[in-house]
Structure 1
């Protein structure tokens, strides 16, 4: 059995969703495809698919094997192209992880431009406000905001996200406008609790830094939920400027404490320590870094 050929066949079955679809595509019989997958399962010593009369789904082991196959076959393809041209091609699958809000607002709109430059790349964008395990989820690169807690990861800083304190006009009419960070103690502060020291807000003024403890009646692990609460007039928040960009322009929120600059948060491209940074990963992180350099709310320094 040709292992690479069997891997390729297995990936086709996963991506097409059935043995019969692959058989039609390749001009083979369905039993031939089944026999090939069966031989691969025998070689591996376990089942790749949980077969039923209605559908075809991967076992947990099959899912892990599929992610490895994606990486191996892409590496083989790049190795052949590199031998022929002298350089690695920017092509193949790219699995990206990001928080929900940042991925939706800052990454997704930029994918069109990246794919125009690199049309042979295919992207799987995974959005979650939890930090996923890069290895088990088969992530090529994760984009994370804030100080990194896991020192075992390989990281490259590609930008900074600026922050401001936002509140709805209605909230400020009823509760007053804070003139200094100390005045926040009298306000309902809505906090994003995925950040380290989320209830301590730090500001710079006239070259000096000040930290204030804040409190409020709601906290959340989702920044867009915080945004909705601010828009409803529930309280104020220290949030990324990009999250409220359109709301600020439309007058739905007001930025307060403008004489005091909140600390910016680093944006890192993060990689598993044992995962090779392919040409497509390098191209994508370079593209994001350059795009952030031209953004007023997300910058490189």
Structure 2
């Protein structure tokens, strides 16, 4: 493996095997055979004179040498990526492949509709948008950046707050006719409240009124890890939800749902753009994060309900 191009290719394949945790997953991703992937990694190990990956029937794990080599590979591949996209007037050209992660609802409603304008500005970028309601492992999934709503628990990431998700308490008119409309947060305890269960405080709803904090432990007959499923439950008249304004903006305008507790401000959630700490942030990532930050700031559907 004396050819430097072959070495870089082998390093890239090895890095993806580490990130995906599977030879077959990388083979499918790169549209080549699994034996070819295995052969490349084996040749790399022979060249280096030691094992990088400890193979077992159940999973792949890195040796100590493999862990160190992977970290170096990521730095080298990032540098090569920047160099091959060239520099203009001392600045990196905004081009290349951009792999973005997001929750399903936020990605579908807030990211996907804005991609056309972004790609019009930067036609040399191509985008792979990966949607998942579980917090994605950026390294394993090979994500350049992902968008997360709520407080971050992982301090080993590079995070930039790019917006705020204001939330609104909503219910369908049919539900309110049958069960009455709560006039204060405390009255929610007597209602069927629908939980989005990926938040740390899923059953604790927090409001503020006249600088006074109101907390209520809610309960209900249904919950989900998908916010659009919660929306469908609300539209079906099942119960009350505390959800992002942008999820119900069209329904509020059309009268399909009613905003309640308007005298109380629901606790908002930050929106972060998150990148791996051990990966250099490219110009295309920065351009996309800047673009999304500006777009979200101007979006009427992200403003508080008055």
TM-score in terms of structure 2 length: 0.78
SS at match of 2:97: strand
Q: Distance in 1 between matches of 2:283 and 2:181?
A: 50
Total equivalences in the alignment: 272
Give the equivalent residue in structure 1 for 2:4.
3
Q: Cα 1:186–1:140, aligned 2, differ >3 Å: closer, same or farther?
A: same
Which string of whole-angstrom CA distances, capped at 9 and with x for unpartnered residues, describes residues 110-132 of structure 1? 11111111111111111111011
Residue deviations 1:122-172 (CA, integer Å, cap 9, x gap): 111111110111111111111000011112222110000110011111111
Which ranges in structure 2 are unaligned for 5 or more consecutive residues?
A: 14-26, 52-58, 62-71
Structure-2 separation of matches of 1:43 and 1:191: 49
Assess, with a 3 A threshold, how the Cα gap between structure 1 residues 8 and 274 changes in structure 2: closer, same or farther.
closer
Partner of 1:207: 211
**Structure 2 residue aligned with 1:193, among 191, 197, 212?**
197
- Aligned positions of 1:92-131 closer than 5 A: 92-131=96-135
Structure-1 residue corresponding to 2:31 = 17
Matched residues in 2 for 1:234 and 1:137: separation?
36
Cα distance per residue 1:2-25 (max 9 Å; x no partner): 2325656998x9777369xxxxxx
Task: Quote the residue 2:230 is aligned against.
Answer: 226
Could you say which residue in structure 1 is the equivalent of 2:66?
none
Counterparts of residues 112-261 of structure 1 (less than 5 Å): 112-261=116-265
Instruction: Report the RMSD for the aligned CA atoms in angstroms.
Output: 3.3
Q: Which residue of 1 aligns with 2:287?
A: 283
Give distance in 1, aligned partners of 2:203 and 2:250: 26
226 and 284 in structure 1: CA distance in 2 versus 1, 3 angstrom threshold: same
Q: Is 1:115–1:121's contact at 8 Å kept on the other side of the alignment? A: yes
Matched residues in 2 for 1:15 and 1:225: separation? 30
**CA displacement 1:167-186 (0-9 Å, x = unmatched):** 11111110001111111111
Q: Is the 2:145–2:273 Cα contact (8 Å) retained in structure 1? A: yes
Q: Is the contact between residue 70 and residue 93 of structure 1 (CA under 8 Å) also seen in structure 2?
A: no
Corresponding residue number in structure 2 for 1:274: 278
Distance 2:167 2:290 in 1: 23
Q: Is the 8 A contact 2:167 2:244 kept in 1?
A: yes
Distance 1:149 1:167, change over 3 A: same
CA gap 1:96/1:80 in 2 versus in 1, 3 angstroms: closer
| Counterpart position of 2:269 | 265
Taking the aligned partners of 1:147 and 1:99, their CA distance within structure 2 comes to 15
Q: Is the Cα–Cα contact under 8 Å of residues 101 and 223 in structure 1 kept in the other structure?
A: yes
Q: TM-score, normalised by structure 1?
A: 0.79
**Distance (whole Å) between structure 2 residues aligned to residue 38 and residue 181 of structure 1:** 62
